Amino acid sequence: MADLLIKISDKDDDTVLHNACDKDATECVAVLLEAVKEDKELLEEALLTCNKKNDTPLHNACTKGATKTVAFLLDALQQNQDVMEKAVLARNNDGNTAWYLATSEGHQETADALLSKLPDDLAAKLKR
């Protein structure tokens, strides 16, 4: 059942998690991630799945300035630094990272929240 929550998508290939991040529905994000947290592969898939724009759920949250959701996603990623790096450095079809989208959309609080949750070396890679 949990895998269905992660794999169901709409016409734009946005998953339920993408849509929850887009709406800053942190409680919904928490329920979705709780459902898959014991299965590391499914958790990784949930956090790294891309839509048609090649946006991850983190991209969606940053685009909308969903600061609480961004912080929650990064807290979920703390257990796996490799997946965190993939999620944070992922570029969409326009070549943009989630952090870049937050800053370019004027969501400085969201961009700062993202950076504050990262190890220094990963934050430095992101800013290049």
126 neighbors 89 (Cβ within 8 angstroms): yes
Give per-residue pLDDT as tens, 4-19. 777 899 999 999 999 9
HSE-CB at 34 with a 13 A cutoff on CA atoms is 6
* Structural domain for 80, as ranges: 2-127
Which of 34-38, 44-48, 59-63, 111-115 has the weakest average pLDDT? Answer: 34-38
Report the distance separating Cα 121 and Cα 6, nearest Å: 30
What integer pLDDT is reported at residue 3 of this predicted model?
72
Instruction: Look up the CATH number of the domain holding residue 30.
Output: 1.25.40.20
pTM value is: 0.94
d(CA 120, CA 123): 5
The average pLDDT across 47-65 equals 97
Mean pLDDT in residue range 99-122? 95
Band of residue 79 on the pLDDT scale cut at 50, 70, 90: confident
Count of domains observed in the chain: 1
Band (pLDDT 50/70/90 cuts) for residue 121 is very high
